């Protein structure tokens, strides 16, 4: 996985949490003790290490930040380090450790804490990754209710995504319209793109191909500006789905080929394998059986290499 993909996925997620210590309260800047300053530096190094793909180093940095914050009984700092650890562990597939980290952080939360929303959000993501969608939805809704800053659109995106996965596209669509407005107001362009991409999926399910295309194209423009390779591939695949649903098989093939190249160049082999499967189906529909067979062979080789899974 390339560092570009990691930066797009992690810098936007971990840095706001890490930087929260530096200025969430606003107003007069208070002096920071040496241990707290050192802890904040370790947090920063951890974020950068994860962005480079050095997950072990990142976790070591977050652990040192946690130790330093614990030494001066700075519970907010401890929570930040634990949420960062949980997120890194989740993204690495270590859900058990992620759960332990987030639960430890939850045990430190004070009533009305400004960190509650971020912690609840991470807990929802961990539960979703484990396949417990009902529980994930509950915690995502708690994260939305606890949000005190400009991340409301991000919280709503997660609630909507979980609603969509559970078969409630109409409810998800209403939430996403709110999320889109909130993200635009907060100028969170990455989250705005997420809202648009999910709206595209819903419009497609509802048979509104023109609206779906408009949403996916809007997301694509934003993701290109931000350089989010994996999400660009998703936007392109979405546009391919719209073309296929409209009966334009050749157009769909064109979009999916672009999605395939974006996934390959971005190092997302799992998504590349899924795109190869879809392309093979489209080529068969278009009567190009030999091309379909070649793509199916490429997919099998990719899966056999162990870098992508079914």
Rounded distance, CA 139 to CA 127, Å? 9
Instruction: Write down which residue in 104, 132, 160 finishes a domain.
Output: 132
Mean pLDDT of 5-23: 43
pLDDT at 5 over 60: no
- Indicate if 123 and 69 belong to the same structural domain: yes
Q: Is residue 9 part of a domain?
A: no
Rounded distance, CA 135 to CA 131, Å? 9
- Indicate if 218 and 247 belong to the same structural domain: no
Mean pLDDT of 80-85: 96
Q: Give the pLDDT band (50/70/90) at residue 310.
A: very low
Mean pLDDT of 278-305: 94
**68-77, 119-128, 297-306: which range is least confident on average?**
297-306
Count how many domains the chain has.
3
- Indicate if 162 and 127 belong to the same structural domain: no
pLDDT at 67 over 90: yes
Rounded distance, CA 151 to CA 143, Å? 10
Mean pLDDT of 269-280: 95
- Indicate if 126 and 44 belong to the same structural domain: yes
- Helix segments in the chain, DSSP class H: 3-6, 12-23, 34-51, 55-71, 75-91, 95-108, 116-129, 133-146, 152-165, 169-186, 189-205, 209-226, 229-245, 249-266, 269-285, 289-304
Tokens of 121: 């959000």
pLDDT in the model for residue 304: 87
pLDDT in the model for residue 52: 82
- Indicate if 43 and 126 belong to the same structural domain: yes
Q: Is residue 272 part of a domain?
A: yes
pLDDT at 54 over 60: yes
Q: Is residue 279 part of a domain?
A: yes
Q: Is residue 28 part of a domain?
A: no
pLDDT in the model for residue 17: 47
- Indicate if 235 and 217 belong to the same structural domain: no
Q: Is residue 1 part of a domain?
A: no
Backbone angles phi, psi at 286, to 5 degrees: -85, 5
pLDDT at 13 over 50: no
Q: Is residue 115 part of a domain?
A: yes
CATH of the domain at 174: 1.25.40.10
List own/partner pairs for 93-102 with CB under 8 A and 24 or more apart.
95/126, 95/129, 95/130, 98/122, 98/126, 99/126, 102/126
| Contact of 43 with 84, CB cutoff 8 Å | yes
Q: Give the pLDDT band (50/70/90) at residue 57.
A: very high
pLDDT at 174 over 90: yes
- Indicate if 162 and 212 belong to the same structural domain: yes
Q: Is residue 23 part of a domain?
A: no
Instruction: Write down which residue in 201, 227, 253 finishes a domain.
Output: 227
Rounded distance, CA 272 to CA 99, Å? 30
pLDDT in the model for residue 247: 96
Q: Is residue 27 part of a domain?
A: no
Q: Give the pLDDT band (50/70/90) at residue 307.
A: low
Q: Give the pLDDT band (50/70/90) at residue 31.
A: confident
pLDDT at 22 over 60: no
Rounded distance, CA 108 to CA 104, Å? 7
> What is the extent of the structural domain holding 187?
149-227
- Indicate if 234 and 222 belong to the same structural domain: no
User: What does the pLDDT look like over 176-214, one tens digit per residue?
Assistant: 999 999 999 999 999 999 999 999 999 999 999 999 999
pLDDT in the model for residue 15: 46
User: What does the pLDDT look like over 249-265, one tens digit per residue?
Assistant: 999 999 999 999 999 99
- Indicate if 284 and 253 belong to the same structural domain: yes
- Indicate if 217 and 292 belong to the same structural domain: no
Rounded distance, CA 276 to CA 237, Å? 11
- Indicate if 238 and 283 belong to the same structural domain: yes
- Indicate if 270 and 244 belong to the same structural domain: yes
Instruction: Write down which residue in 227, 261, 295 finishes a domain.
Output: 227
pLDDT at 143 over 60: yes
CA dihedral 152, 44, 88, 79 (to 10 degrees): -60
pLDDT in the model for residue 53: 80
Percentage of the chain surpassing pLDDT 90?
Answer: 83
Mean pLDDT of 268-276: 94
């Amino acid at each position: 996985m390339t560092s570009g993909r990691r930066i797009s996925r992690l810098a936007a997620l971990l840095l706001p949490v890490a930087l929260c210590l530096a200025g969430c309260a606003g107003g007069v800047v208070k002096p920071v003790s040496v241990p707290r300053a050192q802890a904040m530096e370790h947090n920063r190094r951890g974020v950068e290490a994860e962005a480079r793909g050095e997950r072990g180093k990142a976790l070591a940095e977050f652990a040192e930040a946690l130790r330093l914050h614990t030494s001066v009984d700075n519970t907010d700092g401890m929570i930040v380090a634990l949420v960062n650890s949980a997120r890194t562990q989740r993204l690495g597939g270590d859900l058990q450790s992620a759960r332990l980290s987030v639960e430890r952080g939850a045990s430190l939360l004070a009533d009305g804490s400004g960190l509650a929303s971020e912690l609840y959000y991470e807990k929802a993501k961990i539960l979703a990754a484990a396949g417990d969608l009902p529980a994930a939805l509950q915690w995502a809704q708690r994260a939305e209710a606890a949000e005190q800053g400009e991340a409301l659109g991000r919280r709503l995106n997660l609630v909507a995504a979980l609603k969509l996965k559970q078969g409630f596209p109409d409810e998800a669509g209403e939430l996403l319209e709110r999320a889109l407005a909130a993200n635009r107001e907060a100028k969170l362009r990455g989250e705005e793109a997420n809202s648009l991409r999910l709206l595209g999926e819903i419009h497609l399910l509802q048979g509104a191909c023109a609206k779906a295309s408009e949403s996916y194209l809007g997301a694509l423009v934003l993701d290109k500006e931000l350089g989010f390779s994996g999400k660009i591939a998703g936007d392109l695949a979405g546009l391919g789905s719209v073309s296929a649903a409209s009966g334009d098989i050749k157009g769909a093939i064109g979009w999916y080929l672009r999605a395939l190249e974006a996934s390959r160049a971005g190092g997302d082999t799992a998504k590349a394998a899924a795109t190869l499967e879809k392309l093979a189906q489209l080529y068969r529909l278009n009567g190009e059986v030999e091309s379909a067979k070649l793509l199916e062979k490429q997919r099998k080789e990719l899966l056999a290499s162990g870098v992508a899974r079914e």
